[in-house]
Chain A
Amino acid sequence: MNTEVQTPDAWEPNILAFCCNWCSYAGADLAGVSRFQYPPTVKILRVMCSSRVEPAFILKALKDGADGVLVAGCHIGDCHYIDGNKNAEVRINNTKKALGKLGFDKRLRLEWISASEGLRFSEVIRDFTEEIMKLGQNPVKEVKK
């Protein structure tokens, strides 16, 4: 497998974030309300709980060319659905392990971000963006039919 990438100069990472409705989406809202600036490298898909995120979503996103996937939920113990985030933790970590075999594990992140952590949300995005910048563009491109 050839994963060498020549990253063009004008390139910027594109990250897909799955945020749970109750904590991390609200944390992203607070980042906005507080005007904490972060790079425009992320788009958020709202899910009710981080446990809604299927490994298949992550694989699809990376296969289709997303440079990074963030799954964000409530801190352990704070889950609106009692322990959904614990299910998510197991699921995402397993996905990460599988992605490790392809050298894609660093493109997937699981973060706990509470509704009060607007600053943290912006920091996570900044940090993840920087990491992806180092990794370079997603080397996957659909095989032309």
Chain B
Amino acid sequence: MKGSVAVVGGGIAGIQAALDLADSGFKTYLIESRPSIGGVMSQLDKTFPTNDCAMCILSPKLVETARHPNIELLGYSDVKSITGKAGDFTVKVTKKARYVDETKCTGCGTCTEKCPSKVPDEYNAGMAKRKSIYIPFAQAIPRVATIDSAHCLYLTKGKCGVCKKVCGPKAVDYEQKDKDIELNVGSVVLATGFKPFDPTSLKHYRFDHPDVITSLQFERLMSASGPTQGHVTKQSDGKVPKNIAFIQCVGSRNPRIDRNHCSSVCCMYATKESIIAKEHDPELNITIFHIDIRAYGKNFEEFYNRAQREYGIKYINSRPPEVVVDANNALSLKYEDFNTGDLKSQNFDMVVLSIGLDPADSTRSIAQSSGIALDDFGNIATSIENPVESSVAGIYVCGVAQGPKDIPDTVAQASAAASKAAALLSGERGTLIKEREFPEEKKLSIEPRIGVFVCHCGINIGSVVNVPDVVEYAKTLPGVTHAQEMLYACSSDSQVTIKDAITKNDLNRVVVASCTPRTHEPLFQNTCKEAGLNPYLFELANIREHCSWVHMKDKEKATQKAKGIVSMAVAKSALFQPLYKQKVSLINRAIVLGGGVAGMTSALDIANNGYSVTIIEREKELGGMLREMTELYDGKKPADVLKEIMGKVAENKNIKVINEAKLLKVEGYLGNFKGVVLANGKEMPIDFGAAVVATGARNLEPSGLFNYGKDPGVVTQAQFEKMLGKSLSANVITMIQCVGARNSEREYCGRTCCVDAVKNAIRIKKANSSASVYVLYRDMRAYGVMEKLYGNARDLGVIFIKYEAENPPKVEGKSVLVHDSMLNEDIEIASDLVVLSTPLIAGENEEINQLFKIPLDKNKFFLEAHPKLRPVDFATDGVFLCGSAQAPKLIDEAISQASAAASRACTILSRKFIETEGAVSVVNEAKCIGCGTCVTVCPYNAPSLYDVTVKVEEVTYTTKKSKINAASCKGCGSCAAACPAGAITAQHFSSKEIGEAMDAFQKGVKGISIDKGVVEVMV
């Protein structure tokens, strides 16, 4: 067994898996074939359904990955093969030549600027040019240049060589060769992602026309970092389009081109792109041509409704057979209007093809070279019960490599795969990781001795800002005892220079004037630590992003401003005090609320990772909703699945189960919760470090709808599921979808109901081929690989009839009346049995949300910390979420989420201690008046009031004072701003520190402005 894992693929799936593993004590190799990690998510403008900026939420993860001491990033590297067995694999990797020495390149971009060769830019989906030596995008990790050997003039023709000449750190190396390396690891996680479908082969969609573009290209057009800075323009003439059409399912749901799957995300991204485009230009007309709109995820239906209601996006249920280009090169679409049955034609300025997700080439090549089974679609094959386990023990899979899915499902699976790998190797946890060691902090002299290092950043700063002038100015500032210029402050030799200067000049504060602290602060803080300085004695003055790059045409004023920025940083730094992250011990035990399949899976994963866990279950027995089911959609018996998993729970020594119990009380914080459980009429204490909420959901009873409750011939899909466990006498069965869902009372989509209906329809037909099954639906939401199941049902003769929400079916005795919106006809079905598909609704979540102060959404399901990148976390640290308690979901999805929640919990349980933020707020007890304002404004419950007895001369009285728990404080400083008594100090951002910087700002003002003409005013 090896305590290391190879994660193949550096998209959001690979990043999440690597971070989870590295945080849980495993050495992790992250292998990415492209020059930068980030995957397709890095190309997206916004994410649905919140329209969050994709790069803003991704970029911190990229930096975290790059900085993690336990993650070794192998960028621009291909995996050739994986051999060996669980616990001991050999991964053969080819590190492709970048022709740039990664250890020397500082990412300054000078080479890119000077390179004369321009080629189509993949990051902008071919719509812009990049240079032959390039960094793929601004936030790329690793931030080093790569030479495109296919286009570089020097490498192809032996001419040019400009990049080598201009490279300051001498990083360009034309002689570099591909390098084969072997990694010896205990486990492998495949996160190879997907390849966007190439529509060139679908000639009828005229992708050759400049104004027919893919959805990914449209995404780039809308992005502020895209080829048009976010202005949607036509590629043909640069004009603003007025009418845009989206064609859905291009490269999906098309058996003729061997694409039997639904790509799961296109309906929502088309909706998102339409909304954003309308926000950019409200005059725009957008029409989305679709088969079904599959808005099945959390808040998707609401998003889809808003697109229609608030943005006027038009949805037409028709798949245009072709894009027509007329003699004037104008575009039009022909389609059938199902309301009238007419064939219509409409002109559009731009047609967007909503392209599907194809398996990545590397998925197939790695699977073939390593003997990993693929499913019918070319994805890594898995099963419902083990959704992240490949056919080879010890090799796990996550994200789109396992099947099409959106970002939150991908992130959840990534954590799930990490959980499985960590469980396999739990005995080796912590054996291969390294912790950086730093020298003891030196004693600080009382007077500030500030060192200022001003960076040229090649020519990035130096060509605009007069750096020597800034250095001379810095020397005049109070407290500065050393100032010097540097060519590249971030290069490794500069770190040595800074350390030497700290020692030689006995510096006790360091200011580097270069670029943004958001990327470079940790680097310089580490340098300070290596020289025995507390990292909080460091300040960055950003004279690149905030100065030289934005005032390129006015060198004098830019220099003046740079001086001002430096003086503010110097003034602030003089007041800096050493701050320390506190180490708090923690309880390495978890609780899981709910013993359904999600709760049991989560508990098993935590237990297999080596930690004790207690399942608190409300009912007499474990099993939850799976007990109510009689068949899974792959034909397996839920009873068998339950038996197996319950057996594992019973056998596992790390798991304790308390039945007929509930959690009454919780207090404490991450790592140190104290709770009280009520069971058998007795209250008992329970301490834990992390909690997983897996309380599930329940079926809606559709009382009063379609004669349910009055007519025994009308049942719910859940009841029908049970009936199918025995023999069935009914011969004509009519199912009605979306009963009690997607309406004004319950706006959300039930997600599982379409798949359940299709599954049960197939069961009827298989048991009795002469039976007639009708499914009355609004949109068949058989997403992902479930599309094939839907196809099977149609092949078996199940009849699907589409109805409109405004004209729902009616049940009158044995007869069901429905208006078929595709045929525009009324149909009457004499039915033996009517089956109502109702959604899952939230259980009794309100009790738990009060206990942990975790939020609920408007449908009373739990609200996760972030809908995209933190799908199983709560904003409250140490509490996690999985299964249908978050939103309705299929069993395999609930299992993935359950493992994910376990993985997230294990990143905490595996720690030896909890480290608090260093720059937290502190209360001055003498000044505190006990008003509790801080308690009100803090979103993390960090401040709390306690009673204190005060004695003033002869009088003794009891009052309240506030204290801030450093373990819960995130350092936002909101409480310090709100405190009416000025009793709270936001350390590192204190009023004094900010005040000094402001005084320095004003001095700068006086230096520049002219005094005459200013009137004296009393305020």
Binding site for B on A (CB under 8 A): 1-8, 10-12, 14, 16, 21, 23, 25-26, 28-40, 43-49, 51-54, 56-57, 60-61, 63-66, 77-78, 80-84, 87, 91, 102, 114-119, 122, 137, 139-141, 143-144
Neighbouring B residues of A91 by C-beta, 8 Å? 977-978
| CB contact between A47 and one of B50, B989, B1004, B1014 (< 8 Å): that residue | B989
Q: Is the CB of B972 within 8 A of A141?
A: no
Known: A11-B1010, A45-B998, A114-B53. A34 touches B989 (CB 8 A): no
7 closest A-B pairs (Cβ-Cβ)?
Answer: A32-B545, A52-B973, A115-B56, A51-B974, A116-B53, A6-B1013, A49-B972
| CB contact between B138 and one of A7, A33, A87 (< 8 Å): that residue | A33
Q: Which of A7, A78, A116, A118 has the most CB of B within 10 A?
A: A116
Neighbouring A residues of B50 by C-beta, 8 Å? 77
Task: Give the distance to chain A from B331, nearest Cβ to Cβ, in Å.
Answer: 29
What is the CA–CA distance of A65 and B1005 in the complex, to the nearest angstrom?
A: 8
Say if the beta carbon of B311 comes within 8 Å of chain A. Answer: no
Say if the beta carbon of B561 comes within 8 Å of chain A. Answer: yes
Task: Give the distance to chain A from B230, nearest Cβ to Cβ, in Å.
Answer: 7
What is the CA–CA distance of A28 and B542 in the complex, to the nearest angstrom?
A: 10
Neighbouring B residues of A45 by C-beta, 8 Å? 568, 994, 997-998, 1001
Q: Which of A12, A32, A66, A117 has the most CB of B within 10 A?
A: A32
What is the CA–CA distance of A51 and B986 in the complex, to the nearest angstrom?
A: 11
Q: Which of B45, B875, B1001 has the most CB of A within 10 A?
A: B1001
Say if the beta carbon of B517 comes within 8 Å of chain A. Answer: yes
Q: Is the CB of A81 within 8 A of B972?
A: yes
Neighbouring A residues of B939 by C-beta, 8 Å? 81-84
Q: Mark B881-897, 1 if CB is under 8 A from A, else 0.
A: 00000000000000000
Q: Is the CB of B972 within 8 A of A37?
A: no
Task: Give the distance to chain A from B685, nearest Cβ to Cβ, in Å.
Answer: 30
Q: List 29 A-B contacts (CB under 8 A).
A: A7-B1013, A8-B1012, A8-B1013, A14-B1001, A14-B1009, A16-B998, A29-B518, A32-B516, A32-B545, A32-B547, A34-B229, A35-B550, A39-B551, A40-B557, A45-B1001, A47-B994, A48-B973, A49-B972, A51-B974, A51-B977, A52-B973, A57-B991, A61-B1002, A65-B1002, A116-B223, A118-B225, A139-B1017, A140-B1017, A143-B1016
What is the CA–CA distance of A123 and B54 in the complex, to the nearest angstrom?
A: 22
Q: Is the CB of B230 within 8 A of A14?
A: no
The residue of chain B having its C-beta at the shortest distance from the C-beta of A9 within the complex is: B1010
The residue of chain A having its C-beta at the shortest distance from the C-beta of B572 within the complex is: A45
The residue of chain A having its C-beta at the shortest distance from the C-beta of B1010 within the complex is: A8
What is the CA–CA distance of A57 and B550 in the complex, to the nearest angstrom?
A: 26
Q: Is the CB of B550 within 8 A of A14?
A: no
Q: Is the CB of A66 within 8 A of B1002?
A: yes
Say if the beta carbon of B620 comes within 8 Å of chain A. Answer: no
What is the CA–CA distance of A22 and B997 in the complex, to the nearest angstrom?
A: 20
Q: Is the CB of B998 within 8 A of A12?
A: no
Known: A43-B565, A66-B1005. A1 touches B1013 (CB 8 A): no
Neighbouring A residues of B1001 by C-beta, 8 Å? 14, 16, 43, 45, 61, 66
Known: A33-B545, A102-B1019. A122 touches B550 (CB 8 A): yes
Q: Is the CB of A49 within 8 A of B973?
A: yes
| CB contact between A84 and one of B545, B561, B972, B997 (< 8 Å): that residue | B972
Q: Is the CB of B989 within 8 A of A36?
A: no
Q: Is the CB of A52 within 8 A of B1002?
A: no
Neighbouring A residues of B973 by C-beta, 8 Å? 47-49, 51-52
Q: Mark B578-612, 1 if CB is under 8 A from A, else 0.
A: 00000000000000000000000000000000000
Q: Which of B25-78 contact A (CB under 8 A)?
A: 45, 50, 52-53, 55-56, 59
The residue of chain A having its C-beta at the shortest distance from the C-beta of B553 within the complex is: A37
| CB contact between A48 and one of B45, B552, B971, B1017 (< 8 Å): that residue | B971
Q: Is the CB of A35 within 8 A of B549?
A: yes
Neighbouring A residues of B56 by C-beta, 8 Å? 23, 26, 78, 114-116
Q: Is the CB of A5 within 8 A of B978?
A: no
| CB contact between A30 and one of B224, B1014, B1018 (< 8 Å): that residue | B224
What is the CA–CA distance of A119 and B45 in the complex, to the nearest angstrom?
A: 14
Q: Is the CB of B1015 within 8 A of A139?
A: yes
The residue of chain B having its C-beta at the shortest distance from the C-beta of A1 within the complex is: B1017
The residue of chain B having its C-beta at the shortest distance from the C-beta of A18 within the complex is: B994
Q: Is the CB of A34 within 8 A of B1019?
A: no
Q: Is the CB of A60 within 8 A of B974?
A: no
What is the CA–CA distance of A84 and B986 in the complex, to the nearest angstrom?
A: 14
Neighbouring A residues of B53 by C-beta, 8 Å? 114-116
Say if the beta carbon of B970 comes within 8 Å of chain A. Answer: yes
What is the CA–CA distance of A122 and B230 in the complex, to the nearest angstrom?
A: 15
Neighbouring A residues of B225 by C-beta, 8 Å? 30, 34, 116, 118
Task: Give the distance to chain A from B177, nearest Cβ to Cβ, in Å.
Answer: 32
Say if the beta carbon of B641 comes within 8 Å of chain A. Answer: no
Say if the beta carbon of B937 comes within 8 Å of chain A. Answer: yes
Task: Give the distance to chain A from B868, nearest Cβ to Cβ, in Å.
Answer: 12
Known: A26-B518, A37-B552, A119-B224. A3 touches B1015 (CB 8 A): yes
What is the CA–CA distance of A64 and B1019 in the complex, to the nearest angstrom?
A: 11
Neighbouring B residues of A102 by C-beta, 8 Å? 1019
Task: Give the distance to chain A from B277, nearest Cβ to Cβ, in Å.
Answer: 16
Neighbouring A residues of B565 by C-beta, 8 Å? 43-44
Neighbouring A residues of B919 by C-beta, 8 Å? 48
Neighbouring A residues of B742 by C-beta, 8 Å? none
Neighbouring B residues of A63 by C-beta, 8 Å? 1019
User: Known pairs A29-B545, A84-B972. 5 more at Cβ < 8 A?
Assistant: A8-B1012, A34-B138, A45-B994, A81-B972, A139-B1017
Task: Give the distance to chain A from B548, nearest Cβ to Cβ, in Å.
Answer: 8
The residue of chain A having its C-beta at the shortest distance from the C-beta of B137 within the complex is: A33
Neighbouring A residues of B230 by C-beta, 8 Å? 119
Task: Give the distance to chain B from A121, nearest Cβ to Cβ, in Å.
Answer: 9
Known: A81-B939, A116-B55, A139-B1017. A43 touches B550 (CB 8 A): no
Q: Is the CB of B972 within 8 A of A4?
A: no
The residue of chain B having its C-beta at the shortest distance from the C-beta of A39 within the complex is: B551
Neighbouring A residues of B970 by C-beta, 8 Å? 81
Neighbouring A residues of B857 by C-beta, 8 Å? none
Task: Give the distance to chain A from B114, nearest Cβ to Cβ, in Å.
Answer: 16
| CB contact between A14 and one of B138, B518, B989, B1005 (< 8 Å): that residue | B1005
Known: A30-B224, A40-B558, A140-B1017. A10 touches B518 (CB 8 A): no
Neighbouring A residues of B517 by C-beta, 8 Å? 46
Known: A34-B224, A43-B1001. A5 touches B1015 (CB 8 A): yes
Q: Is the CB of A28 within 8 A of B546?
A: yes
Task: Give the distance to chain B from A88, nearest Cβ to Cβ, in Å.
Answer: 8
Q: Which of B925-974 contact A (CB under 8 A)?
A: 937, 939-940, 970-974
What is the CA–CA distance of A103 and B150 in the complex, to the nearest angstrom?
A: 63
Known: A57-B994, A139-B1015. A28 touches B545 (CB 8 A): yes
Task: Give the distance to chain B from A100, nearest Cβ to Cβ, in Å.
Answer: 14
Q: Is the CB of A31 within 8 A of B1015?
A: no
Say if the beta carbon of B554 comes within 8 Å of chain A. Answer: yes
Q: Is the CB of B875 within 8 A of A82?
A: yes
Task: Give the distance to chain A from B123, nearest Cβ to Cβ, in Å.
Answer: 14
Known: A116-B224, A122-B550. A140 touches B991 (CB 8 A): no
Neighbouring B residues of A137 by C-beta, 8 Å? 1009, 1013-1014
What is the CA–CA distance of A139 and B995 in the complex, to the nearest angstrom?
A: 21
Q: Is the CB of B551 within 8 A of A37?
A: yes
Neighbouring B residues of A66 by C-beta, 8 Å? 1001-1002, 1005
What is the CA–CA distance of A30 and B223 in the complex, to the nearest angstrom?
A: 13
Q: Is the CB of A56 within 8 A of B1014?
A: no
Neighbouring A residues of B560 by C-beta, 8 Å? 40
Task: Give the distance to chain A from B140, nearest Cβ to Cβ, in Å.
Answer: 11
What is the CA–CA distance of A117 and B1009 in the complex, to the nearest angstrom?
A: 31
Say if the beta carbon of B999 comes within 8 Å of chain A. Answer: yes
Say if the beta carbon of B1006 comes within 8 Å of chain A. Answer: yes
Task: Give the distance to chain A from B521, nearest Cβ to Cβ, in Å.
Answer: 10
Q: Is the CB of B561 within 8 A of A38?
A: no
What is the CA–CA distance of A36 and B224 in the complex, to the nearest angstrom?
A: 11
| CB contact between A141 and one of B518, B937, B1015 (< 8 Å): that residue | B1015
